[in-house]
A and B are shown apart, each in its own frame.
Chain A
């Protein structure tokens, strides 16, 4: 192999092993880089699965009165799609990026607890498999082989024994508890790594923004996953031992479930989103050839988002019938989240302003992210206005809003991150032409699919309906929305083809293909198992710049 010359000896030997030994090495590994790759590969796999589920739903909704899917199947599809995207795609992407990059960026040899790290991954994977095992073993109203069909936020009392018979809901509960344990393990590991393993000279003030954001995300995870886990344990007690937490007939409260769920569910949006911000905060400066604008403000805004977003959960519940003052508070505080988020957007723009922008694929994804995330934020502020929310809640407007956040915002930055860090992880560049095809097809497909859904929602189309009658003004919008899926699927195929092709015959990347500034680019691509032969010492937030430009180092100004 031509690349062997780029690999240090230890890694080169692995290449020569027979296949079973290679697989065995991946299974017993506690190396943060391998676990990071396992996390991201798993996330991409589940992304493809959940994407197929979504495509099936769009096919059913493409034209009125369609009979392609039965209502029961449709319910299972949107439940599995939502659950998979949040717990089996978004969360492992966070864990994978944090695992792979944090030790490299802070100049450490591994995570603080490598075995806990492996435990976290495998328990997460088991949870994911358990969820999909319900398609074979689950038992529901429709008989055997039934997946959960209660929706991703699974409102009580629908999930109680009386209304969800069989075991499919239990698969949902258990798999989410398990993936939650895995995510908690990752979060504890990331925090301990960042606090205790930084290389000499890397004070918090000099830490890369990516690492800062991962620290905030992990801290949030510690606080927000317990409400979900506790709620799921209560639900299990209700279903198996006959407890009454959410049993309205015994005086239990269905609204309490909503509070617990959204106490997790809203901050969760930021737990998913902040890793995207973290990637953008590394990619945009490098491709603008300028240090990040307003570094301290970025860190402050991130911490503010982390804290404020934990107090806004009930804006998902305006239509429940809370007191007027609750509505006022949750509406107002939800708009406050717009301020730190706005600070971030202006800082990214400020970084680009006057920069020498290189329009490589990672940067293209980040620029599209800025536009799309801005629109997602604006519709978010609209939804925080209580009377407006009452009008459009549970409609396709809400669906369009959060897909703008998670697809237009998060997924675009994650794709950017794949193009940016793939060379580091594999030693091969991804193909730029295919990358641009991927980008433009995804932009077109994304806007076709989700722009139209805003209007369908405004025209009153409810979410989670399996079909609709003709002549309500939704027909064309839905058809266009479904056509967009073709472009998105083609885009993802470009990525798959690009990865498999580049792994085989991609251009060798070298240590630092992007002329970047953080420590992961100081070691080989892929990095050796021990990351750095000599642990680095840093004096500024752009250590590699200092190394490359001894005549004008950053630490003179910081």
Chain B
């Protein structure tokens, strides 16, 4: 029924191998591109409004460097990389251990953000409505934190699947998730620089 099309017959030996990039990797890189652009706009808004608040509190009065949270998040990039290699090598126990460690580090990061926000809201009365600093601070840091939360949800899912024994042979997919986690980390470096270094 359907016409078969072999448009040119050439001896197979003379043809170079036909390999194209993995579609999952391409898709995830595209996602990062568009996410990067989204964060850029929030960063631009943050920088544009530095020092434009009409009332206090100002960043220099209230912000402290989140060193511990940053250490947690950045080191979770290392643990997720170890988990990824373990899965590739088929060591499920090791994979579960290091994925669990990644999740704990991510949760500790979010806990630190929560404590920081509570401190800002209760002690300095800085909310999203207070001034332009509050508006841009909570939206930029919150946008990043929501990405951490999404990553944590996915990591938790893989951990559950790991305990149910269904992560075997899924290392390609987990690799993409680990890329996402690295991306979220890299974004944090930018957010940290803009909010806590340049903006303070």
* CB of B167 within 8 Å of the partner chain: no
* CB of A395 within 8 Å of the partner chain: no
- Tell me whether B34 and A225 are in contact (CB under 8 A): yes
- Tell me whether A536 and B5 are in contact (CB under 8 A): yes
Of B3, B10, B128, B134, which is within 8 A of A524 by CB? B3
- Tell me whether B54 and A237 are in contact (CB under 8 A): no
Of A189, A195, A524, A539, which is within 8 A of B21 by CB? A195
- Tell me whether A196 and B7 are in contact (CB under 8 A): no
Query: How far apart sit A112 and B30, CA to CA, in the bound complex (Å)?
Result: 13
* CB of B61 within 8 Å of the partner chain: no
Are A523 and B45 CB-contacts (below 8 A) given A195-B26, A196-B22?
A: no
Of A221, A237, A534, which is within 8 A of B4 by CB? A534
What's the minimum C-beta distance from A34 to chain B, rounded to whole angstroms?
18
* CB of A394 within 8 Å of the partner chain: no
- Tell me whether A192 and B23 are in contact (CB under 8 A): yes
Contacts of A9 in B (CB 8 A): 1
* CB of B132 within 8 Å of the partner chain: yes
* CB of B129 within 8 Å of the partner chain: yes
- Tell me whether B30 and A191 are in contact (CB under 8 A): yes
Query: Which residues of B from 47 to 64 have beta carbons under 8 Å from A?
Result: 48-49, 52-54
- Tell me whether B27 and A200 are in contact (CB under 8 A): no
* CB of A493 within 8 Å of the partner chain: no
Query: How far apart sit A431 and B4, CA to CA, in the bound complex (Å)?
Result: 30
- Tell me whether B3 and A253 are in contact (CB under 8 A): no
Chain B residue nearest to A12 (CB atoms) is: B1
Which of B36-44, B88-96, B100-108, B110-118 interfaces with chain A? B36-44
* CB of B75 within 8 Å of the partner chain: no
Contacts of B45 in A (CB 8 A): 230, 234, 245, 256
For A, the interface residue count at a CB cutoff of 8 angstroms equals 60
Contacts of A245 in B (CB 8 A): 45, 135-136, 139
- Tell me whether B128 and A222 are in contact (CB under 8 A): no
What's the minimum C-beta distance from B89 to chain A, rounded to whole angstroms?
26
Are A112 and B27 CB-contacts (below 8 A) given A223-B37, A242-B129?
A: yes
Q: Which residues of B contact A (CB under 8 A)?
A: 1-8, 10, 18, 20-24, 26-27, 30-31, 33-35, 37-38, 40-42, 45, 48-49, 52-54, 128-129, 131-132, 134-136, 138-139
Q: Which residues of A contact B (CB under 8 A)?
A: 8-9, 112-113, 116, 184, 187-189, 191-193, 195-198, 200-201, 221-223, 225-227, 229-231, 233-234, 237, 241-245, 250-253, 256, 260, 263, 511, 519, 522-524, 528, 532-534, 536-539, 543, 546-547, 553, 555
Sorted nearest first, the 9 A-B pairs with minimum C-beta distance are A230-B41, A242-B129, A226-B37, A196-B23, A226-B38, A533-B2, A112-B23, A243-B135, A222-B34
- Beyond A192-B24, A226-B38, A252-B135: 18 further Cβ-contacts under 8 Å? A113-B27, A189-B27, A191-B30, A192-B30, A196-B21, A222-B30, A223-B34, A230-B45, A231-B41, A234-B45, A241-B129, A242-B128, A250-B131, A511-B3, A523-B5, A536-B7, A537-B6, A555-B8
